[in-house]
Amino acid sequence: MKKILITGGAGFIGSCVVRRFVNNHPDYLIVNLDALTYAGNLQNLKDVENAPNYQFEKADIRNRDEVNAIFDKYGITDVIHLAAESHVDRSITNPLDFVLTNVIGTVTLLEAAKEKWKGHYADHLFYHVSTDEVYGALGAEGLFTEETRYDPHSPYSASKASSDHFVRAYHDTYGIKTVISNCSNNYGPYHFPEKLIPLMINNIINNKPLPVYGDGNYTRDWLYVKDHAIAIDLVFHEGKTGDTYNIGGFNEWKNIDLVQLLCKQMDEKLGREPGTSNQLITYVKDRPGHDRRYAIDAGKINRELGWAPSVTFEQGLSETIDWFLANEAWLNDVTSGNYATYYDTQYASI
Ligand code: NAD
Ligand code: TYD
């Protein structure tokens, strides 16, 4: 029986992955290890918390004793590692937190795997979930492939790049079975409202200014979080050991166009006059080191594992807005407390 440790399972993507594995793989035990930082929230997992094949452990991936104890307690057979500090703007303010969690935390987990699985590495998998941001920024043309040279620019992407290198090093040096996937920007239910899409949805609901960084012509490739979870399930089961898979939405949007689309859809859903929310758009000071464009070539995972996004952007965005409108209590809960302090500091100019 597989006993899979999913780290960061109380976060945005992690909770979607936990939900999928708990529901789709009743024969596996899913152990969710999460420190419950500001981004972790057990409300995200209410629907599976009593499932017989699910366990939660509040622990910190930087703490070797805590991690080792969880490996021993459950006899962990595999790891799907998502726990991270994940927000670029916070990494600009507090880079060391990103080094400690994303680099040291990942190596701490790798060390536990190396020790606990010694002598039978072939029977276990360490799956590291990473980001396309490790590849740096694209100009107007081109796509990131698995061969693109790493060129991170933010402390966040530098820390994720470093963690990717450590995962490969543990594969090459110790023979641990590893796999890495690098995904583009996700969106969907339970997305913490410090990131672009949920922040704009929250501000539109509350008639607050919509802060667009710089000229607004920065481009991201957006993927519905449930399609990312499906891809992770496939890579976990069918990915080639030691390999990397890029995951993306084939769905590039300039930030300003995306914000305008959100305004249009939300005006319709909220029964507001067309054009109402557009008036909230406010250009603000640019993010330092802001990567101009990300775009993924997801051809390899499509060819080798048969994965493709199942949801169109229009569908996914509409479902996402509906989810946020139906879950205002969740939104109010996560935006209370220290969110206000973060928001006031980050958006002091508006
Ligand atoms: P998130 O910030 O929503 O969640 C991170 C989770 O990790 C939280 O539950 C938090 O409590 C937990 N965590 C943080 N530090 C921890 C620690 N020291 N010990 C244990 N748990 C800790 O992040 P997300 O957006 O769900 O991203 C999950 C993973 O996917 C990250 O590794 C991120 O780099 C990667 N990723 C994210 C995106 C995206 O668009 N959000 C895209 C590609 C890859
Ligand atoms: P974000 O959601 O932080 O993801 P990432 O930086 O990891 O891609 O930001 C997505 C894009 O939106 C990025 O180009 C920065 C921009 N952005 C804004 O214009 N305003 C905002 O308030 C935020 C949070 C992001």
Three-class HEC string of 156-171:
HHHHHHHHHHHHHHHH
CA distance 67 to 116: 11
Residue nearest to atom 4 of ligand 2 (CA): 195
User: Which ligand number lies closest to the CA of residue 293?
Assistant: 2
Residue 337: what pLDDT?
85
69 C-alpha vs ligand 2 centroid, how far in Å? 37
Tokens 């452990």, residue located: 57
* Residue range 264-271: mean pLDDT, rounded: 98
Task: For ligand 2, atom 6, name the residue with the nearest CA.
Answer: 88
Q: What is the mean pLDDT of residues 309-313?
A: 96
Q: What is the pLDDT of residues 71-88, one digit of tens each?
A: 999 999 999 999 999 999
| Residue 26 C-beta-side C-alpha neighbours within 13 Å | 3
Class of domain 196-219+252-294+311-344: alpha beta
Cβ–Cβ < 8 Å for 77, 33: no
Q: In 6-75, which residue ranges form alpha helices assigned H by DSSP?
A: 12-24, 64-74
Mean pLDDT of 220-237: 98
- Ligand 1 closest atom vs CA 185: 40
Lowest model confidence (mean pLDDT) among 94-108, 298-312, 336-350: 336-350
Average pLDDT over residues 282-295: 98
Q: Is the pLDDT of residue 219 over 90?
A: yes
Where are the chain's structural domains?
A: 3-187+222-247, 196-219+252-294+311-344
By percentage, how much of the chain surpasses pLDDT 70? 100
CA 271–ligand 1 middle distance (angstroms): 35
Question: Using a 6 Å CB cutoff, which residues line ligand 2?
Answer: 88, 185, 195-196, 199, 211-213, 218, 220, 255, 287
Q: Which ligand is nearest to the CA of 18?
A: 1
Buried b vs exposed e over 22-40: b needs ≥16 C-beta within 10 Å? beebeebbbbbbbbebebb
Nearest-CA residue for atom 9 of ligand 2: 196
Ligand (nearest to CA of 187): 1
**Nearest partner of 273 among 282, 281, 263, 288, judged by Cα:** 263
Say which of 132, 164, 194, 227 is annotated catalytic.
132
Distance from the CA of 15 to the center of ligand 2, in angstroms? 21
Residue 298's Cα: distance from chain center in Å? 17
Residue of 91, 281, 119, 298 whose CA lies nearest to 200: 281
Handedness of CA 145, 151, 157, 158 (dihedral sign): positive
Is 111 catalytic? The answer is no
| Ligand closest in space to the Cα of 105 | 1
54, 127, 156, 245: the catalytic one is 156
Please state, for a pLDDT cut of 90, what percent of the chain lies above it: 99
**Structure confidence at residue 212 (pLDDT):** 98
Note the Cα 246 to chain centre separation in Å.
14
Q: How far apart are CA 308 and CA 297, in angstroms?
A: 11
Among the listed residues 349, 172, 202, 207, the one whose alpha carbon sits nearest the alpha carbon of residue 277:
207
User: Which residue's CA is the closest to the ligand 1 atom numbered 19?
Assistant: 60
Cα–Cα distance between 39 and 297 in angstroms, integer? Answer: 29
Position 155 pLDDT exceeds 90: yes
CA distance 258 to 204: 13
3-class SS of residue 300: helix
The CATH class of the 3-187+222-247 domain is alpha beta
Instruction: Give the number of the atom of ligand 1 that is nearest the alpha carbon of residue 101.
Output: 18
Pocket of ligand 1 (CB under 6 A): 7-8, 10-14, 34-37, 39-40, 60-62, 82-86, 101, 105, 129-131, 160, 183, 185-186, 192
**Ligand 1: distance of its center to the CA of 273 in Å?**
37
Q: Is 235 left (phi over 0), alpha (psi -120 to 50) or beta?
A: alpha
283 is catalytic: no
- Could you identify the atom of ligand 2 that is nearest to the CA of residue 154? 6
Q: In sequence order, which residues have a C-beta less than 8 Å from that of residue 276 and are 6 or more positions away? A: 263, 267
Structural contact between residues 32 and 9, judged by C-beta atoms closer than 8 angstroms: yes
Residue 216 has pLDDT above 90, yes or no: yes
| Look-up of token digits 């991270």 | 84
- Residues in contact with 303: Cβ distance below 8 Å, sequence separation at least 6, in sequence order: none
**Mean pLDDT estimate for the chain:** 98
Atom of ligand 1 nearest to the CA of 100: 18
For position 150, what pLDDT does the model report?
98
Report the alpha-carbon distance of residue 32 to residue 21 in Å, rounded.
11
- DSSP state, residue 251: -
Active site residue 132: yes
User: Given a cut of 90, is residue 68 above it in pLDDT?
Assistant: yes
Q: At CB < 8 A and 24+ separation, what contacts does 270-273 make? A: 270/204, 270/205, 270/325
Give the pLDDT score at 182: 99
Q: Which of 82, 99, 135, 199 to mutate to test the pocket of ligand 1 (most atoms within 8 A of CB)?
A: 82
